[in-house]
Amino acid sequence: MTKWNDFDVIWNKESPKSRQKLMQKVICRGLKPTKENCRDYWMGYIRPFNDRGTFVHCNPMKNQSIMRGMGRDKYGRPRKFERRNKSKKRNSKK
């Protein structure tokens, strides 16, 4: 079973105890306790980012406008590294 399927089993249980636990953890991070946000938290997609002294928890792939406001790209890297040449310049030995 994959982690995605494990979440579906937890979410669809008759007993809401584990679902309520997930929802409380999402609320503590300042997000709405929807199924989608709970799944993102369960899968590990929601990460904390430092925004000028305050921590913002979000999924960088889904909240790209928030990430741009913090000066980061959708992968969480600072935007100054977005357009740099990624190939390493090496001296060839003769």
Assess contact for 57 and 30: CB atoms under 8 A. yes
Q: Is the pLDDT of residue 94 over 70?
A: no
Confidence at residue 36, expressed as pLDDT on a 0 to 100 scale:
92
DSSP state of 50: E
Q: Which residue has the tokens 């999402």?
A: 26
Q: Provide the whole-model pTM.
A: 0.71
pLDDT tens profile 59-84: 888 878 778 888 888 777 777 766 66
pLDDT at 57: 87
Residue 54's identity, in one-letter code, is T
Residue range 16-54, pLDDT digits in tens: 899 999 999 999 999 999 999 999 999 988 888 888 888
> Does pLDDT of 14 surpass 80?
yes
Angle at 76 between CA 3 and CA 87, to 5 degrees: 110
pLDDT of the residue at 93: 65
Cα of 77 vs its chain's centroid, Å = 13
